[in-house]
């Protein structure tokens, strides 16, 4: 990368909302050892903190690399696509003026269409470009787009049938991303309703002893959970009631925490209530070693749930669609990935210069030999396993 544009790859910190830090640890009293539950509690709180740090670290890295990519590559891709179209049109004009054999003329036609296809990946053709494409193609551009959309719809319908057993009306999918999104939401709701209806239909069937025992156990657990939630809510409501607090800043803190407690109770979210209580306990007292065993078990269950959710979040960071453009470098360190982007930028610049040179060649009918040689080499490359004759100048990762 040239020295005049170093800021594109500055390693700046990406601002993200800071997660709530539990900062909880049980310390053993004098001449006492931690119980198994206390050790499990400490392991879980430490593990949660480690996962949160890993999520922040990996997300910051990906954001930084994506920022570097977006600052340097997409605009170049657009420019190269426009250059491809200019080359295709210059080649088309040259073909009209040159005396070519039938085979040479057919190869020129293929090269023109391939250049257009590559360009259409990044730019939407205007009417003039469409007409140019149609003049050299055996089919209409719009018809080809419709054919590709139909193929995608069929693939989606087959997937929906295999995954959910649902028959999809292809016409209902629509032709725009907005229409497709609305349809996807609708079939998701239909699938959920179908599951509920199946559950209702099976309600009247005779149940096995094992099934009855499981249901009874589940009902007991739900009843215990509701009882625990109510007890927990009342306890927190009593401790956090803002009317009994004289200090204004402390009163505001309690009000905010109480809002979260009320919302968690309304949602019947025991895990959220337990986390809020842990935060409150940590802020008010460091004597966590005095927590009763039953309360500790509830905390441990909540922490396990939180750790599992964070593990899933961490695993999904790299599969966020936002980071698709940098899929091939996300396994590298931040500095290595940025160096790859720097190299890609230079490759793109060289490719753009090469296309411009070939456009100049094709714009001069007097350079017939060079034009024929370019077309011949292009066709030879396309006949190999390579998908792009400009493979030495990668357009994307």
Do residues 344 and 387 lie in contact, with contact meaning Cβ atoms separated by under 8 Å? no
Q: What's residue 257's pLDDT? A: 82
Cα–Cα distance measured from residue 376 to residue 368, given in angstroms and rounded to the nearest whole number = 12
Cα–Cα distance measured from residue 88 to residue 100, given in angstroms and rounded to the nearest whole number = 17
- Nearest alpha carbon to residue 111 among 92, 134, 131, 129: 92
- Domain ranges in the chain are 50-138+318-397, 147-204, 209-284+292-303
Chain segment 218-227, per-residue pLDDT in tens: 666 666 556 6
Least confident of 203-207, 303-307, 313-317: 203-207
240-260: average pLDDT: 78
Q: How many alpha carbons lie under 13 Å from residue 386 in its C-beta half-sphere?
A: 15
Decide if pLDDT at 307 tops 90: no
* Unique residue bearing structure tokens 């032709």: 175
Decide if pLDDT at 333 tops 90: yes
Cα–Cα distance measured from residue 43 to residue 39, given in angstroms and rounded to the nearest whole number = 6
Chain segment 22-65, per-residue pLDDT in tens: 456 777 666 678 888 888 888 888 888 899 899 999 999 999 99
**What is this structure's pTM?**
0.63
- Nearest alpha carbon to residue 273 among 285, 258, 283, 293: 258
User: Hey, how many other C-beta atoms are within 10 angstroms of the C-beta on 369?
Assistant: 9
What is the three-class DSSP state of 11? coil
- Nearest alpha carbon to residue 10 among 83, 53, 81, 72: 72
Q: What's residue 2's pLDDT? A: 41
CA dihedral 207, 213, 219, 225 (to 10 degrees): -150
- Nearest alpha carbon to residue 120 among 168, 169, 82: 82
Q: What's residue 255's pLDDT? A: 84
Chain segment 263-292, per-residue pLDDT in tens: 888 877 766 777 777 677 666 555 566 677
Query: For the residues of 154-204, what is the DSSP string, one character each?
Result: HHHHHHHHHHH-----GGGG-SSHHHHHHHHHHHHHHHHHHHHHHHHHGGG
Decide if pLDDT at 357 tops 80: yes
- Nearest alpha carbon to residue 259 among 282, 236, 278: 236
Decide if pLDDT at 91 tops 50: yes
Looking at every residue in the chain, the average pLDDT score rounds to 77
Chain segment 139-196, per-residue pLDDT in tens: 888 888 777 777 777 877 787 777 667 777 777 776 665 666 667 666 666 666 665 5
Q: What's residue 364's pLDDT? A: 92
Decide if pLDDT at 124 tops 70: yes
Cα–Cα distance measured from residue 158 to residue 338, given in angstroms and rounded to the nearest whole number = 39
User: Hey, how many other C-beta atoms are within 10 angstroms of the C-beta on 171?
Assistant: 8
Cα–Cα distance measured from residue 88 to residue 275, given in angstroms and rounded to the nearest whole number = 63
Decide if pLDDT at 343 tops 90: yes
């Amino acid at each position: 990368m040239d020295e005049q544009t170093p800021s594109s790859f500055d390693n700046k910190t990406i601002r993200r909302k800071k997660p709530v830090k539990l900062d909880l640890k049980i310390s053993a009293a004098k001449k006492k050892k931690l119980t198994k539950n206390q050790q499990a509690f400490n392991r879980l709180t430490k593990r949660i903190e480690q996962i949160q740090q890993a999520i922040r670290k990996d997300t910051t890295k990906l954001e930084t690399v994506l920022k570097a990519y977006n600052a340097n590559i997409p605009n170049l891709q657009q420019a190269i696509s426009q250059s491809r179209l200019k080359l295709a049109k210059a080649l088309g004009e040259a073909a009209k003026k040159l005396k070519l054999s039938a085979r040479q003329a057919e190869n020129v036609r293929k090269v023109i269409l391939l250049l257009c296809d590559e360009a259409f990946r990044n730019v939407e053709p205007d009417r003039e470009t469409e007409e140019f494409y149609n003049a050299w193609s055996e089919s209409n551009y719009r018809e080809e787009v419709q054919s590709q959309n139909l193929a995608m719809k069929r693939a989606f319908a087959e997937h929906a049938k295999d995954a959910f057993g649902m028959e999809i009306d292809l016409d209902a999918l629509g032709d725009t991303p907005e229409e497709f999104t609305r349809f996807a939401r609708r079939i998701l709701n239909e699938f959920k309703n179908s599951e509920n209806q199946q559950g209702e239909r099976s309600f009247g069937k005779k149940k096995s002893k094992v099934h009855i025992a499981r249901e009874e156990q589940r009902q007991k657990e739900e009843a215990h959970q509701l009882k625990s939630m109510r007890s927990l809510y009342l306890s927190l409501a009593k401790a956090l009631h803002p009317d009994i607090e004289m200090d204004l800043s402390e009163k505001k803190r309690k009000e905010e925490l109480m809002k979260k407690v009320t919302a968690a109770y309304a949602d019947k979210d025991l895990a959220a209530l337990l986390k809020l209580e842990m935060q409150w306990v940590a802020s008010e007292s460091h004597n966590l070693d005095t927590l009763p065993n039953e309360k500790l078990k509830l905390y441990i269950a909540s922490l396990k749930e939180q750790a599992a959710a964070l593990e899933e979040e961490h695993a999904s960071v790299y599969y966020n669609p936002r980071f698709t453009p940098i899929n091939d470098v996300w396994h590298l360190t931040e500095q290595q990935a940025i160096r790859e982007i720097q190299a890609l930028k230079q490759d793109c610049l060289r490719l753009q210069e090469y296309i411009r040179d070939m456009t100049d060649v094709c714009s001069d009918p007097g350079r017939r030999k060079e034009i024929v040689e370019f077309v011949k080499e292009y066709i030879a490359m396309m006949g190999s396993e390579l998908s792009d004759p400009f493979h030495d100048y990668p357009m994307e990762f």
